Structure formats: structure tokens, C-alpha cells
Amino acid sequence: MILSPEIITLLILLSASILFFTEVIPIPVTAMAVPVALSLTGILESEAAFSYWGNQWVMLFLAMFIVGEGVFRTGFAGYIGERILRLAGGSSTRFLILIMFVIGIMSAFLNNTGTTAVFLPIVISMSHKKGMSPRTVLMPVAYAASLGGTMTVIGTPPNAIINSTLETYSLEAFGFFEFARVGGVMFVAGIIFLTLGKKFLPEDEEFEADPESLNIDRGEIRHDKMKRSMAILLLVLVAMITGFISLLTAAMLGAVLTIISGCITVDEAFSAVNWTTIFLFAGMLPLGTAMEKTGSALMIAEGITSYASHPLLIFAAIFLITVFLTNFMSNTATSALMAPIGIEVAMAAGMNPHPLLLGVAMASSCCFLTPVATPPNALVLGPADYSFIDYLKTGWMLQIMVFILAMIFIPLFFPF
């Protein structure tokens, strides 16, 4: 029996999902296998299947990883850490609020994965100076980074994937700060919850950790180049916010200046890039194109709309499906899988696709129940000696809160 293109595409989708869940093979390899499968089966021409390696959002994140590395290696991140300690004084609560706020804001502009990786040894060091266990600090930090990243198009990979998918369907992409209408609400609410809900945080057990032993030492800090890295970051952000230079050109200019100014070396630039994120982007984006071309996304969309007809119910279904998948697989992969489905669902139901796509973006980034749900969650797992159950205990109420906020504020700002 010859399978139809729709079924073949769905089988590739299912196979990728299973491999992402089980990690039988490494996640980046699964992502690379997707365009290979699409090309071998004739779903897409090879040029189309592998064209996303030059996608502007792939290159944008690559460049911002390099800019972020310059911020760390010139000592700017450490300088911020010392300032936080001074402002916190003797209050552990004030310290927690400040560190979450700063990391959340920086995650919006430097990417939440890179920011968490950059600040991890600094936060552990600051925790020891405050006489606090990293167990009570690192999980709120990871959650704040995820929430902060939702506020801009470059803060977290799912936001960029949403814009790329909208452009694939010739729809208007979200503006640089449009995500912040909802993401800002979730960020502030998350900080309040994590500050007041201390009983939900992992217990402050006896914990000895030497930041030097975390195997994330990045070598000599170039304090003499700090002003250069700060100026480069400011230039990139002003360019992106004002639009006088395109997002990609601004990011690439920042990456080039970071290297030629001596803030980092070429080798350090290569090592700064989170290649798993890059491979996931480039490998999974063509699946969205294939799902549109073959009609498989429409097939799934019609299945969802046949059970839910009211726009709010459809939104809730898309959001909860995305949350479920993201808590067990890469949020980058989940957003790439769900974005085309969200658009087809909207079209089938006669809805504005933007609120559904924003729901996919928020659901992909605001996941707190497992260590594999987001890169920030995974980064703090080992250094804080967390268990799977620690994430569940801390994150379940925050997960419910995010869902409720999404149900209220996304339709408010982006009507169905």
C-alpha cells in the first residue's frame, strides 16, 4: 500500500516526537534526521528541506550566543552579581527577588539559555556568600529566566519559531516587544509567586558546592574589555528595538564586533554557541513547511476543531497539548511541531491565528514540571542536586497560574 504524503509527514512527526521523548539518539541528531527523511521520501526537495540552516532566526540565535559570551568574559555579568549582593544587604528575600528580576530581564535580551548558563556559577557563588543553599535559589532562577525570555522575539527559541512559522504562511509576524504584553504579566506574576510561595521551593538542605568544580569555568575574565562589550550589547539592543537595522544584521554586527574588539576569541565564539538549539531550529522548521504543503497540519486541526468549537476551548486545547509535550521534550521542538498546527486550527475555525500562536509560544517556554522542559530547567538540575520530584513540587502551581493568565490576557490583547 502506498502511503499518502499527509500520512508520511505525520509518521515523520510521530517518529521525531518519540525520539525526542525517549532520547534513544541525541536530540540534535533527531532534528538533523527530519530534513533527511523529508527529502528521502520526496515530501520536500532537498534544497527546501535543508534551506533552514540559513534561516534568519537560526542565525539570529547563533549571533546572540556570541554577544552573550562577550558579556560574561569581560566581567559584566560578575559586576552585576556583586551589585545584586550589595543591594540585597542582609535580606535573603530581597536577594531572591533581585536575582530573579535581573536574570529575567537579561534573558529577554540575551536568550534565556545563554543567560542561565552565564549566571549559573555566579549565582552559586553569591548564594554561598549569602549563606543560602543553591537549592533554594537555582530553581527560581531557572523559572525566572524562562519567564523573562518570553518578553521579546530573541528571548527564547519558541518565540522566534512562532515568527518564522507566521512568515511561512505569509502572515504578519509579532513585533520585537509584542510578546511582552503577555510575557511581562507572566514574568511579574512568576516573581511574586516564587517570592511568596517559599514553601513550594526545594528544602534548604545542607549542600556543599564549589563553583570552581562545576566544570563551567570560562577562563580569564577580561575586565579591560567590559565597556566594549556593554557598548556592543547596547548598540545591538537599540538597533533591534528601534528597527533602524534589521534584527539579523544587528545581531551579526554585534557578534562580529564582539570578536574583533577582543572581548572574545574566535574559538570562544564557537564554544559559546548552544549547538543543540541551532540544530533543533534548522532541523525542525522544514517539518512545518511539509505539514502545510501536504495538508497534514490541516488534518490534525480538523480533528481538534471537531471536538472543540468555542475559540476559548480551542485555545485551551492547543495550550495544554503544547504544555504536555514540552514537559517531556525540547520546547524548541514542541513549538516547531505545534506552530503549524495552531495556524491550521485557526484557519479551520475561522479564528485569528495570532492568539493561538502566542499561546503555543507561552506554553512552550513556561513549563516547570520536569528538568527537560526547558534548557534553564536542565542547566540547574546537576549543580543544585535536584530530583524530578523537586520540579513537580515547585512547578505545579506555577504551571496552573500561567495557564490561567494565558486564558485571560492573550485573548484580551489578541482577540480571537
At 57 the pLDDT is 72
C-alpha pair distances (Å), 231 with each of 49, 139, 239, 251, 334: 38, 31, 12, 13, 35
At 377 the pLDDT is 84
Say how far apart CA 403 and CA 359 lie, in whole Å: 9
C-alpha gyration radius of the chain:
21
Cell of 91: 535580606
Say how far apart CA 20 and CA 333 lie, in whole Å: 8
Cell of 284: 525542525
Using alpha carbons, select from 123, 130, 324, 118 the residue that is nearest to residue 229. 118
Block residue for cell numbers 492547543: 318
> By the 8 A CB rule, do 307 and 255 touch?
no
Per-residue pLDDT tens, the chain, 416 aa: give them. Answer: 688 888 898 899 888 878 877 778 887 888 899 999 999 999 999 988 998 888 777 888 788 888 888 888 888 877 887 888 888 887 888 888 999 999 999 899 877 877 787 777 778 878 877 778 888 889 999 999 999 999 999 888 899 899 989 988 889 999 988 999 999 999 999 999 998 877 777 765 554 544 443 334 456 788 889 999 889 988 988 887 787 888 789 889 999 999 999 999 999 999 888 787 788 778 877 887 787 788 887 777 777 777 777 899 999 999 998 888 787 667 887 888 889 889 988 988 889 999 999 999 999 999 898 877 888 887 787 778 787 788 888 889 999 999 999 999 999 999 98
Q: Which residues contact 107 (CB under 8 A, 6 or more apart)?
A: 115, 116, 144, 145, 146, 148, 149, 155, 156
At 26 the pLDDT is 83
**Domain that includes residue 347, residue range:** 5-413
Provide φ and ψ at 65, rounded to 5°. -60, -40
How far is CA 40 from its chain centroid? 30
* Residue 18 identity (one-letter amino acid): I
- How many structural domains comprise the chain? 1
Helix (H, G, I), strand (E, B) or coil at 247: helix
Q: Where are the beta strands (DSSP E) in 107-147?
A: none
> By the 8 A CB rule, do 145 and 104 touch?
yes
Say how far apart CA 34 and CA 330 lie, in whole Å: 15
At 184 the pLDDT is 95
> By the 8 A CB rule, do 73 and 268 touch?
yes
Q: Could you write out the DSSP letters of every residue in 195-235?
A: HH-GGGSPP-------GGGSS-------GGGHHHHHHHHHH
Q: How many helices (H) and strands (E) does the chain have?
A: 20, 0
Phi-psi region of 385 (alpha: psi -120 to 50; beta: other; left: phi over 0): left
Cell of 386: 535536584
Helix, strand, coil shares of the chain, percent, nearest 5, are: 75, 0, 25
DSSP state of 109: H
At 16 the pLDDT is 83
At 210 the pLDDT is 46
C-alpha pair distances (Å), 159 with each of 17, 360, 374: 20, 9, 13
First to last CA, the chain: 41
Q: Give the Cα-Cα-Cα angle 58, 60, 65 (nearest 5 degrees).
A: 100
